[in-house]
Amino acid sequence: MQKVILNDLGEISYHKAWDLQQKLMAEVIGIKRANRDATTPTPQKHYFLYCEHPHVYTLGRSGSMDNLLLSEEQLNEKNIEFYKINRGGDITYHGPGQIVGYPILDLDCFFTDIHRFVRYIEEAVIRTLAEYDIQGERIKGLSGVWLKADDKRPDRKICAIGIHLSRWVTMHGFAFNIQTDLQYFKYIVPCGITNKAVTSLEMELGKAVNLSEVKEKLNRHFSELFEFEFTS
């Protein structure tokens, strides 16, 4: 069973977290390269980072600037950062009260299937939602976890996913809305999708939710799905 180093960074700027991800990814790839010619291979390292970011919008490789509805001046006025980054997907928001997870895993130690990797992230969130009696769904052709439309509300996203791979090592990950201020999604076209909405766990439950409690549930489901063990 693979061991994954779990590190909860707390609140951290997006740029610092991005730099750390790239540093850890380089370390994992370095071990992988060294092991190719090693008589006695070094055990591979894997990391799983949790954090919250101050208000920030990130635009993925396939995203359009048209989906950012604020000017640079307005971003500055609202104290929102903006970054173009190397993950897949379009534009999304990160902010306080959101669980952001960055798995930095060498998939050669698990399975070399990017679609399976994304489905497992979705499944961990879906299983966590089920513990709150909420039915998370997948929508064909769209990544992330959704709640299906009802008589009063459209389909709405509760967890966004965007990843990047190099030599089968992953970075970036998921953003799970728990206590998130959904107002900030009104300043973008989330993920470039115009006919759906965004929600949070507290919005759906109508009560406060403890982030640490949610992380504990996520940890259990990630461990079960990927068959790894978290370590510090």
3-state secondary structure 201-231: HHHHHCCCCCHHHHHHHHHHHHHHHHCEEEE
Is 191 assigned a catalytic role? Answer: yes
Asked if residues 22 and 171 have their Cβ atoms less than 8 Å apart, the reply is yes
CA proximity to 212, closest of 55, 3, 10: 10
Question: What residue spans of the chain are helical by DSSP H?
Answer: 14-36, 72-77, 114-130, 201-205, 211-226
Counted residue by residue, the chain has a size of: 232
Structure tokens at 165: 């791979």
CA proximity to 157, closest of 149, 166, 169, 167: 149
Q: DSSP class of residue 179? A: S
Q: Which of 51, 109, 159, 191 is catalytic?
A: 191
Structure tokens at 206: 């109508």
The H-or-E segment that residue 184 falls in is none
Active site residues: 191
